[in-house]
Structure 1
Amino acid sequence: MPRLPDRRAVVMGGFAGLAAAPALAATQRFDAVLSAGPDRRATRHFPTLAAALEAAPADSGKAFRILVPKGTWREQVTVTRPNVHLVGEGQGASVIVFNEYAAGRNRPGGPSEIATVTVLAPGFQAHRLTIANDFDYPGNMPAEVDYDRTGASGAQATALKLGKGSDKAYFEDVALTGWQDTLFTDAGRSLFRRCYVSGCVDFIYGMGVAVFDRCEIRSRTRPGKDFHGFIAAPDTNRKQPYGLVFLDCRLTRDGDMPDHTMALGRPWRHTMTFPDGRYGNPDAVGHTAFIRCWMDRHIVPEAWYPMHYNLKGGRRAMYQPEDARLFEYASRGPGAGKPSERRRQLTANQARKYTIPSLLSGWNPA
């Protein structure tokens, strides 16, 4: 059985080897700082991130900048005010972490969300920090079922959720670490620039438009298993041209992950409530594209796998990759593989449309 990571490796997701960011300029001023006492770098100080978020203006068009100093801030928070910017002192130095998970969400007194940070307002930004969910996934892996080698539900533990109300969310030099369902892009537009995202099962998922620009996408080993999961699980509406798009990214793996044991993704058809019952959303036709990405040999040759979903009346069906919008262009590295009916390739003309302004409907933060 592969070696279990220690607690710090769970939080940090194996990204400690990335270069440290330069120190913040001493002259920078913030609207708030997380501190037990006064700090000359900000006008106000707060003992918790939740308290600092509560102090943000409810309707301001200006950025409300919160300094998250070096250290581990164990909190579960929801951002409801617009234009909140979290700034850390380094990706590996400033860590916001919690351990909520799907099977524990309905316990008495428990929160309704499983994400460490949930964003429900526009203009959110995060820089130079980590948002993590350190739920003990290796110790609580669900048993395999006949329709899913990664098990039934229960072990989802999200680090970041971009929910209803989120739009124009920007992340730079941020690490998002977890195992299953690390990053939930459920709404709006988001851009991740030079970030690090780690996980194993469906760890980047949702119906929002999310662009990953020069990021490292790290696949984590499920201890004792011979298959380790799926990177992307798009739930894109059929009327929406783009979903999860990876531009010039690096797809890496844990050192003990064998070759050909991780899929690029699978299409998700989220179960929803309709007037005639609960079943998989028929308007979900997932879109994911990997453009000019380097891939290690952990990627399976066929690249994409099907995913189960519920039909009307409770029956289960499999959503095939060929029925969704899953593409590559100019993949490089030992995991690039050969084009096929399942591993579909964009043409050069099609790939030219995949620019950040086009993908994000004209929004392109500096």
Structure 2
Amino acid sequence: MQRSVTAAVAIAAALAAVPAPARAATSFTVAADGSGNYTTIQAAVAASSTGGVITIKAGTYQGQVQIPASKSGITLQGATGNSGDVIITGNKPQSTAGTAGSATVYNLAPNSTIKGLTMQNTYGAGSQALAVYAAGDRQVYRNVQMKGYQDTFLSWGGTGSSQIRQYVYKSYISGAVDFIYGNGAVVIDSTTIESLNIGSSSNNGYITAAATDDSNPYGILITRSTLKSSAAAKTVALGRCWHAGNAADAIGQVLVRESTIGAHVRQAGAWQDMSGWSWKTCRFNEYANTGAGASAGTSDRPQMSASTAANYTAQKYLAGADGWNPVQ
């Protein structure tokens, strides 16, 4: 009897040493009309495992969607492939909800993908009001629309030199004030960037506000994209120099390359000072752009040389230490 018990214990110990199989990724359908597994996106996110796939049927979905860091590899996708068919919408300002609380989609999940849908904050002028707060590394946004007014899309990895990465491809981003901003390494590729026409004859806003840590060579890259607006000619800046928290080491880096720039972009003053910091304290450049708003050779539109631009490609921005390359 003692021998059999000993043998059983040994077998149990051996079995315990065998790793349990990883939990299978889950797939859920969200439909506002009740025809899916869930009627809200947040409920599906809560139920999803790592690597889960959430397919969202056409409709408008109200309220914040928060994707926690524990949902690594999760995918949110519109069911039809038409980004205008699935709309996640919110109306919260930063002034009352805080930065993260205002974000219609607050995505902390690394290795996540969001595609084929619209994320918007309809609050309008008067406060920061985010459509997307991207706070996780190696995130992909493909065939999406991000719509807001001030601070539409934030990439933020916290203070210091640690940096997160996002790739936005074949999408649409709109806003008026600093609507692409943060300290992450962000590539916006083959995307339409629309500056809203706020009716001014002199100042219709700013596209970017980078706060890249000075230890990081790469910040925001806009490449192979179209910058457009119905605003008056020469009234929109490419960006402002945002020293987040008034930090001297927030030396924003922005490159606009091989893109078509509309007449709304300023010739003089395309890069602007912010909160007492000169735009010259940041790292702002252009390379090989075309269109009515491309540089006519003014001294405040720095142009990157071809030899330097070879090291400022989408792949370089996103590679990091692990060689990540989602570029299409």
Q: TM-score, normalised by structure 2?
A: 0.84
Q: CA deviation at 1:345?
A: 0.6
Counterpart CA distance in 2 for 1:290 and 1:136 is: 26
1:49 to 32, 41, 51: 41
**Partner of residue 115, structure 1:** 103
Counterpart mapping for 1:214-293 below 5 A: 214-223=190-199, 226-253=202-229, 255=230, 257-271=231-245, 280-293=246-259
Counterpart CA distance in 1 for 2:35 and 2:146 is: 29
**Partner of residue 147, structure 1:** none
Q: CA deviation at 1:216?
A: 0.5
More helix by share: 2
5+ residue gaps in structure 2? 1-25, 158-163
Deviations 1:109-154 (A, max 9, x none): xx962100111120111111101001143xxx4xxxxxxxxxxxxx
2:56 to 43, 57, 68: 68
Name the SS of the counterpart of 1:307 in structure 2. coil
Q: Which moved more, 1:223-232 or 1:177-186?
A: 223-232
Counterpart CA distance in 2 for 1:122 and 1:79 is: 10
Deviations 1:235-271 (A, max 9, x none): 0000001000011110001x3x111110000110111
Counterpart CA distance in 2 for 1:348 and 1:221 is: 34
Q: Which moved more, 1:86-95 or 1:198-207?
A: 86-95
Counterpart CA distance in 1 for 2:272 and 2:100 is: 30
**Partner of residue 27, structure 2:** 31
1:99 to 87, 91, 102: 91
**Partner of residue 154, structure 2:** 184
Counterpart CA distance in 2 for 1:185 and 1:349 is: 28
Contact 1:321 1:342 in 2 (8 A): no
Counterpart CA distance in 1 for 2:294 and 2:100 is: 40
Name the SS of the counterpart of 1:359 in structure 2. helix
Counterpart CA distance in 2 for 1:127 and 1:263 is: 29
Contact 1:217 1:250 in 2 (8 A): yes
Counterpart mapping for 1:328-347 below 5 A: 328-347=286-305
* Cα distance, 1:267–1:224 mapped onto 2, change above 3 Å: closer
1:211 to 168, 172, 187: 187
Counterpart CA distance in 1 for 2:201 and 2:113 is: 36
Aligned length: 288
Contact 1:116 1:158 in 2 (8 A): yes
Name the SS of the counterpart of 1:83 in structure 2. coil
Tell me which amino acid in the other structure corresponds to 2:175: G
Is 1:320 paired with 2:267?
Answer: no
Is 1:162 paired with 2:134?
Answer: yes
Q: CA deviation at 1:225?
A: 6.3
Alignment RMSD, CA only? 1.8
Counterpart CA distance in 2 for 1:72 and 1:225 is: 35
Contact 1:34 1:68 in 2 (8 A): yes
**Partner of residue 271, structure 2:** 304
Q: Taking every aligned residue pair, what percent have the same amino acid on both sides?
A: 30
Name the SS of the counterpart of 2:42 in structure 1. helix
2:143 to 152, 170, 173: 173
Counterpart CA distance in 1 for 2:281 and 2:298 is: 14
Deviations 1:49-79 (A, max 9, x none): 110110122xx3xx21111111110120211
- Structure 1: which 4+ aligned runs deviate by more than 6 Å? none
Counterpart CA distance in 2 for 1:214 and 1:357 is: 14
Q: Which moved more, 1:354-363 or 1:96-105?
A: 354-363
Name the SS of the counterpart of 1:353 in structure 2. coil
Tell me which amino acid in the other structure corresponds to 1:50: Q
Contact 1:181 1:203 in 2 (8 A): yes
Counterpart CA distance in 1 for 2:174 and 2:74 is: 24
Name the SS of the counterpart of 1:52 in structure 2. helix
Name the SS of the counterpart of 2:179 in structure 1. strand
Deviations 1:145-181 (A, max 9, x none): xxxxxxxxxx111000012xx0100011111001110
Name the SS of the counterpart of 1:103 in structure 2. helix
Counterpart CA distance in 1 for 2:35 and 2:264 is: 49
Deviations 1:202-234 (A, max 9, x none): 000000000011111100012456411100000
Q: CA deviation at 1:38?
A: 4.8
